[in-house]
Amino acid sequence: MRSVDNKSRRAFMGSVAAAALLLGSGPGRALEKSARGRWPMIAPPRSPRISHVIDQLGRRRDDAYSWMKFIPPVGERSRTNLPRPVAKMLADENAYADAMLEPTKAVQAELVRAMLARSAGAVAAPALEKDGWTYASAIPEGQAHARYIRHKEGEKPELLVDESARAAGQPYFRSTGHQPSPDHRYFAWAEDVIGNDRHRICVRDNRSGAVRTIVEQDAYGYGGLVFAPSSRWLFWIWRDARNRPTRLYRTAVDGTTTSLVYEEKDPAIFMQVKRTAADGFVALTLAGPETAEVRLLSATDETAAPAVVWPRKVGVRYEIDEWNGELVTLTDADAAFDMALLRLDRADFRTLGTLVPHRAGTPILQLVPFGAALVRLERADGLHRLVILRPDGSEQVIAFDDPAYAIELPAEQSYTARTVTIVHQSPKSPRRWIRVDLANGTQTVIQQQTVANFDPDDYVVERLFAPAPDGEMVPITLLSRRGAPRDGKAPLLQYGYGSYGVPSDPEFSVPALALVDRGWRYAIAHVRGGSEKGRRWFLGGRKFTKRNSFTDFIACAQHLAAEGYTEKGKVVAYGLSAGGLLVGASMNIAPTLWGGVIAQVPFVDMLNTMSDGAHPLVPLFRPDWGDPLADPKAYDYIASISPYENVGAAAYPPLLCTAGLKDDRVAYWEPAKLVAEVRRRSTSGNPALLHTDMDSGHQGSADIASEYRQKALFWAFAMRCV
């Protein structure tokens, strides 16, 4: 996207304001007959189209809604610094969405009550047991945020963090990275009170109870902070002005000294930091979609320069941990596309041998080493399983009989433990924390998610397969009420993501139950672009094969209708972020298949965003989408699938898009442009709605009530659609 200087921007925005006055952009009250009488008769806002011709690689396009984009010269977007036309557009869209959804308020309230009634007093199981300490978190009944505690057997629990108190008075609150220091003297976490994913880092001294903010701002919280093995330092990652994690710092736990450890210059590289399992190293992982490099800091010299294990090489990804006195690496080197597990010398990083060879179609997802065994999470036939590898070479597989389920393998478990804690869940089975004995595989349930007014026997989970146009079989996880007839009459909500190799695992969801309890079915479409069937499943829906994700998603809906689980026109599509690309493109390809479309913070202005080299994520994800600034083939392919670029004259279903004003991953103008274009081109009379949260970023505030209110809004919209 072209940039303009401040003077040009002022002149340009002035022309936008004039056009808005001439064309009219506020919601009015008299007007077109609503589609099938389902919606209030309210005139939608009409955003002006102002020609903005872009010449690129010998191609020309006119982005007539480019005026919606606003990036402040300094600082972040806020209610107070928006240009007047943009502020008016967002206010008008919010007012229109609120008015159109007003008749659903009672249903929304009922849904929230039903969700909260099942979730009251939900408690998380112990997150960590180490050296006699048990660390746990819980959301007290009637509160929205967690309390973090620790205790020793027979002693009174000690409160570490009361997040409801810390969130009080803040318009936004989300925290991450909670962890004790290895010596248990300190407890650290990162928190965002702005909504822009830029965190401050707090450390509690467990002796005095004092809480100190040792990093005031601009930290990266997601895998971006860790204590040194000595507990004397906190290593943390800094985000630059474009919100890219680019520097690793070392700060004393008392906050008195800070030193730069490493700075990454390549904008296509992402950073994460951790301690290895036996506390032998601090590991800085530098990775992109097709490359990786790990730098290690030894516990014997925490202030030394980090040493490179393998220099980065395009086409080779790897990660490092330690086990049984050696380093171990999970890598795709030598064509091991679903990963192999190798042993390395801890001093000079030489390869010593293979622990687990590459097995096509059985991807290794995660490692958690213990002194007694090396535990790995992998997929077989698309479903999770746990494998315990012991030092003598023997293995034991832990799997479950559910048609569809998910296993989590929490990190940071004690290396000296004789058991591994896992989390099992399915769409009809709440989360269960299970201890698995590393010597014999014996399982013990130690905690279960509290769900009131719930009987799992009232529900049925099925694993189905939809034939894609090219013959691939696309997995579907389906949740229904037991006894629900397959007569084609039930409405169905279909969720999908299908990007970056991120799977859509069949997890337990209180909001999904609330929808199914009202006569709906809930489906997860495991389309290509995810990794449910290994890396080849990811590559089959990436870059120049991305269209497969959309045709897979459509095939899933068609299959569910053909099998009598629903019917065409009663399927509401739901996607989040890159899943918004999935549902937006599927809507363009088959507009009459869907009863409605819900796109949450959706990536839908694909061509313009991937042409913006200043965007914080564009350099990182060019391998996934292509580079329309340098590659004509990539330009043409993206132009052919981008939802915004491909809206046509068609009978579009009702569309609900959401956005966050402070979102720098998928900015508000992406859904705003799509909504304006659908509204302009649609022949159905169905509404296209945009609702922007003026206080949040890519994620909403992290409390259960906020999450349930949003899901209730989505479900009530879906119910209105069909």
Q: What is the pLDDT of residues 374-401, one digit of tens each?
A: 999 999 999 999 999 999 999 999 999 9
Q: What is the mean pLDDT of residues 596-612?
A: 97
Q: Are residues 567 and 688 in the same domain?
A: yes
pLDDT at 10 over 90: no
What is the pTM for the complete model shown? 0.89
Other beta carbons less than 10 A from residue 107's beta carbon:
18
Residue 3, pLDDT above cutoff 90: no
pLDDT above 60 (res 355): yes
Asked whether the CA dihedral 351, 420, 533, 623 is positive or negative, the reply is negative
Q: E strands within 489-586?
A: 492-496, 521-525, 571-576
711 found inside a domain: yes
Least confident of 9-18, 477-486, 497-506, 677-686: 9-18
Whether 499 has a pLDDT exceeding 50, the answer reads yes
Average pLDDT over the chain reads 92
Q: Kindly state the tokens that stand for 419.
A: 């058991």
| Residue 473 CB burial class (10 angstroms; 0-12, 13-18, ≥19) | middle
Q: What percentage of the chain exceeds 70 in pLDDT?
A: 93
Let me know whether 367 and 351 are in one domain. no
* Whether 125 contacts 447, CB under 8 Å: yes
Round to whole Å and give the CA distance between 470 and 417. 48
CB of 341 closer than 8 Å to CB of 360: no
Q: 442 and 383 in one domain?
A: yes
pLDDT at 487: 96
Q: What pairing do the DSSP bridges indicate for beta strands 594-600 and 655-660?
A: parallel
Place 29 in a pLDDT band, splitting at 50, 70 and 90: very low
Nearest to 433 by CA among 126, 177, 139: 126
CATH number at residue 580: 3.40.50.1820
Range of the domain at 350: 276-359
Q: Same domain for 347 and 422?
A: no
Q: Within this chain, do residues 351 and 397 fall inside the same structural domain, yes or no?
A: no
| Final residue in a domain of this structure, among 418, 450, 482 | 450
Q: Which of 450, 484, 502 is the last residue of a domain?
A: 450
Residue 66 phi, psi dihedral angles, 5° rounding:
-65, -25
Domain assignment of residue 622, yes or no: yes
Q: What is the pLDDT of residues 536-551, one digit of tens each?
A: 999 999 999 999 999 9
- For residue 263, the tally of other CB atoms under 10 A from its CB is 12
The CA-to-CA distance between both ends of the chain, in Å, stands at 38
Backbone angles phi, psi at 57, to 5 degrees: 55, 35
pLDDT, greater one: 195 or 362: 362
- Cα distances (angstroms) measured from residue 395 to each of 169, 229, 388, 488: 52, 30, 5, 46
Segments of 182-339 assigned E as strands: 186-192, 199-205, 211-227, 233-239, 245-252, 258-263, 270-275, 281-288, 291-298, 307-308, 318-323, 326-331
429 and 562 both lie in a single domain: no
Q: What Å distances lie between residue 580 and 495, 577, 611, 647, 655, CA to CA?
A: 10, 5, 19, 14, 11
Distance set, CA 418 to CA 388, 424, 439, 581 (Å): 12, 19, 8, 45
The Cα–Cα gap between 458 and 533 comes to: 30
For residues 382 and 333, membership in a common domain is answered with no
Distance, in Å, from the CA atom of 452 to the CA atom of 115, rounded to the nearest integer, reads 10
pLDDT at 20 over 90: no
Among 253, 228, 417, which Cα is nearest to 306's? 228
CB atoms < 10 A from the CB of 158, how many? 14
Count up the domains in the chain and report the number. 3
pLDDT of amino acid 125:
60
pLDDT digits (tens, 9 = 90+) for 37-79: 789 999 999 999 999 999 999 999 999 999 999 999 988 899 9
Which tops the pLDDT comparison, 450 or 177? Answer: 177
How large is the average pLDDT for residues 488-492? 97
Q: Which residue has the tokens 């299908």?
A: 498
Please give the pLDDT value at position 64: 98
- Please give the average per-residue pLDDT across 690-704, as a whole number: 79
* pLDDT tens per residue, range 165-181: 999 998 889 899 999 99
Same domain, 660 and 572: yes
Q: How confident is the model at residue 124 (pLDDT cuts 50, 70, 90)?
A: low
**What tens digit of pLDDT does each residue of 83-111 get?**
999 999 999 999 999 999 999 999 999 99
- The better pLDDT of the pair 335, 38 is held by 335
Residue that is last in its domain, among 415, 450, 485: 450
Angle made by CA atoms 479, 487, 548, in degrees to the nearest 5? 55
Place of tokens 């965190």: 199
Q: Is 316 helix (H, G, I), strand (E, B) or coil?
A: strand
Whether 446 is in a domain gets the answer: yes
CA–CA distance, 78 with 697 (Å, rounded to integer):
11
Dihedral sign (CA 93, 96, 99, 104) = negative
* H/E element, 444: strand 443-448
d(CA 701, CA 172): 5
Arithmetic mean of pLDDT, 210-215: 96
Within-domain flag for 651:
yes
Question: Does 202 fall in a domain?
Answer: no
Beta strand 374-380 with 383-389 is antiparallel
State the pLDDT at residue 110.
98
The whole-number pLDDT of residue 8 equals 34
Is 715's pLDDT higher than 50?
yes
Asked if the model's pLDDT at residue 576 lies above 50, the reply is yes
Q: Which two tokens stand for residue 222?
A: 């997601």
In a shared domain, residues 649 and 710: yes
596 touches 661 (CB < 8 A): no
Nearest to 532 by CA among 365, 401, 376, 410: 365
Note the pLDDT of residue 172: 87
Specify whether the CB–CB gap between 597 and 584 falls below 8 A: yes
pLDDT of residue 6: 36
CA distance 433 to 127: 10
- pLDDT over 90 (residue 454): yes
User: Is 21 a residue whose pLDDT tops 70?
Assistant: no
Classify residue 106: in a domain, yes or no. yes
Asked whether the predicted pLDDT for residue 373 surpasses 60, the reply is yes
In this prediction, residues 678-696 reach a mean pLDDT of: 95
Tens of pLDDT, residues 127-165: 678 888 989 888 887 777 889 999 998 899 999 999 999
Residues 353, 395, single domain; the answer is no
Instruction: Tell me 231's DSSP state.
Output: S
What local confidence, expressed as pLDDT, does residue 83 receive? 96
In a domain, 34, yes or no: yes
- Indicate the length of the chain as a whole number: 722
Q: Smallest Cα–Cα separation from 61: which of 689, 636, 555, 582?
A: 636
Q: Is 265 helix (H, G, I), strand (E, B) or coil?
A: coil
**What's the number of CA atoms in the CB half-sphere (13 Å) around residue 549?**
36
> What is residue 617's predicted lDDT score, i.e. its pLDDT?
87
Nearest Cα neighbor of 522 from 506, 533, 535 is: 506
Q: Does residue 675 belong to any structural domain of this protein?
A: yes
**C-alpha span between 372 and 343 (Å, rounded):** 16
Both 431 and 327 in one domain: the answer is no
What is the pairing mode between strands 147-152 and 158-162?
antiparallel
For residues 348 and 403, state if they share a domain. Answer: no
pLDDT over 50 (residue 31):
no
Position 28 scores a pLDDT of 40
Tell me the pLDDT band of 36, cut-offs 50, 70 and 90: low
